[in-house]
Chain A
Amino acid sequence: MTSSKAAIPLETPEYAARLAQRQASRHGVLYALLDAVRDPELPELSIWDLGVLREVREDGGELTVAITPTYSGCPALAVIREDIAACLNEAGCQGFEIVEETRPPWTTALMSRAACAQLQAGGIAPPVPGPVRCPVCGSAETALVSEFASTACKAHYRCRTCLEPFDHFKTLK
């Protein structure tokens, strides 16, 4: 095994726009609380880093947490809703609404650079431009085994250099 891991590129413009919206929000405290809510199938990632948490806002005086599904059939969304409610309730926050929004659709460009780095550290090739690189040895000599892996958002690959089988978080544009 070598230490030459694939380089994680800079933040995408899509993520930068999300971050600017968060930083301009009056609800920074709530965003920070929600950083504790993780994707149940990718516990290394927060829903913020994954791009599932779209916005915390006030709609006519009512607090609204807007989330978006990664894939339309993603079963994690129901759990994420419960976890958001539990997280905010625990902090003493009541009377909010959690809404699902599909427009504009989620893409992997909404994910943070930290999310990509965490995926790679966890042995999952992140959705970054260029060839799919082995998360273990960094080799670009990889082959697709199946379009789907343990979840709908991942594909199954193997490395031709170090022979490691691994998951690739598919790039969705």
Chain B
Amino acid sequence: MSLLEAVVGLGDDALVLGQRLSEWCGKSPWLEEDLAMANTALDFLGRARLLYGYAEALGGCDEDAYAFQRDARDFTNLLIYELPCADFASACARQFLVDAFDALHLERLSESADAELAGIAAKAHKEALYHHRRSVAWLVRLGDGTAESRCRMQKALADVWGYHAELFAPVEAEADLIAKGVLPDRAALRPQWLAAVTATLDEATLAPPGADGRIDGGRQGQHTEHLSPMLAEMQHLHRSHPGARW
């Protein structure tokens, strides 16, 4: 894997989650949460733009081409980011797992041997810490809440749990960049992640989900059936009106 491909993969992670979060605009439980969802989506969109901007400097295409002119097979995001949300609990469950991952992963990435990537990660890490604070608060509030909220939170965690393993699954093509200190070894982060996640689950009085599933393929462009419909909506305007500007 080249540095360019690694940067695009990280950009795809951020863009796809940013789009999923923005789907909550106008649909969140109340106004404050609507603003929080939209602002978090903006942070991820901003992160994607920084990464795509760097990809362009490395010889890739421009940010609009990355976002709007590729099909699902060309996206290399990890699968957990593309999952649709059945309800607010499923948005909170996924966000909690990936924010806990970001808090660790971006800290390591900010020590990357690649100075530009390190700079982007350092910036994103500061934002990840308050995203994490918010998603922990929601997990505890819904888990240790009413019978209905607890039941939904438990189900949402079970639904998303099988996708967390890919966050830590070694990708053969990344080995070279890990050896050069450009990318952190994601697999090594799992024990610390699991300890943090388990502690919050305890506080939220939620049972840890069952056995670990292992669903992956995102970095190779093999996606769930959910990504294409999301891209169709996200890319519609740009593809129908090429070059359109606000």
Contacts and interface: CB of A to CB of B under 8 A. Distances in A.
Contacts of A72: 43, 46-47, 49-50, 123-124, 127
B122 A104 contact: yes
A71 B50 CA distance: 11
A112 B242 CA distance: 43
Interface in B106-137: 115-116, 118-120, 122-124, 126-127, 130, 133-134, 137
B36 interface: yes
Nearest to B126: A172
Interface in A132-173: 145-152, 156, 170, 172-173
Contact of A102 (B33, B43, B50): B50
Interface in B64-117: 115-116
A152 B116 CA distance: 24
Interface in A87-123: 102-107
Contacts of A146: 32-33, 35-36
A75 interface: yes
Q: Is the interface of B mostly helix, strand, loop or mixed?
A: helix
A8 interface: no
Interface in B1-37: 18, 32-33, 35-36
Given A103-B115, A103-B122, A105-B119, A71 B32 contact: no
Given A102-B120, A105-B126, 5 more contacts: A71-B46, A73-B42, A102-B119, A146-B35, A150-B35
A149 to B, nearest CB: 7
Interface residues of A, number: 24
Interface of A: 69, 71-75, 102-107, 145-152, 156, 170, 172-173
Nearest to B42: A73
Given A72-B46, A103-B119, A156 B39 contact: no
Contacts of B154: none
A69 B119 CA distance: 12
Contacts of A73: 18, 39, 41-47
A166 to B, nearest CB: 14
Given A72-B47, A146-B36, A152-B39, A102 B126 contact: no
Contacts of A148: 32, 35-36, 39-40, 134
B8 to A, nearest CB: 17
A12 B245 CA distance: 41
Contacts of B43: 71-73, 152
B10 to A, nearest CB: 13
A104 B40 CA distance: 22
A147 B134 contact: yes
B32 A105 contact: no
B3 to A, nearest CB: 17
B31 to A, nearest CB: 9
Given A71-B127, A147-B36, A149-B35, A105 B122 contact: yes
Contact of A151 (B39, B115, B130): B39
A8 to B, nearest CB: 23
A149 B31 CA distance: 10
Nearest to A105: B123
Contacts of B40: 148
Interface string B41-63: 11111110110000000000000
A151 B46 CA distance: 14
Nearest to A106: B123
Nearest to B118: A103
B187 to A, nearest CB: 27
Given A103-B119, A105-B126, A74 B35 contact: no
Contacts of B120: 102
Contacts of B126: 105, 107, 172-173
A106 to B, nearest CB: 8
